[in-house]
Amino acid sequence: MVTLTVVLLIKEPLSDLRQKLRDTQSVLGQAFKGDLQSFKGDIMKSFAEKGKMVDVVTLDRKENLGV
């Protein structure tokens, strides 16, 4: 099991917070591939394609391999 806490700093007015949260959930669901650097790059690339700029800050990552 992997627990990953991510904070996205969206650099634009938050006038449409609901849509941004939907976008974030969609991107997070599609982006994680197990490699943290790749994950961060995928999130930033996905938002850039939608014309949004984000910083991705990872707070922690814990892995439990069930051993």
Task: For residue range 12-21, list pLDDT tens digits in order.
Answer: 665 666 666 6
Sorting pLDDT into bands at 50, 70 and 90, what band is 41? confident
Q: What is the mean pLDDT of the chain?
A: 62
Domain range for 40: 2-63
b vs e for 22-47, b when ≥16 Cβ sit within 10 Å of the residue's Cβ?
Answer: ebbeebbeebbeeeeeebbebbbebb
Domain total in the chain:
1
Q: Does residue 60 or residue 51 have the better pLDDT?
A: 51
Q: Is 45 helix (H, G, I), strand (E, B) or coil?
A: helix
- Give pTM, 2 decimals: 0.31
**Residue range 37-41: mean pLDDT, rounded:** 68
**What span, in angstroms and rounded, lies between the C-alpha atoms of 21 and 26?**
9
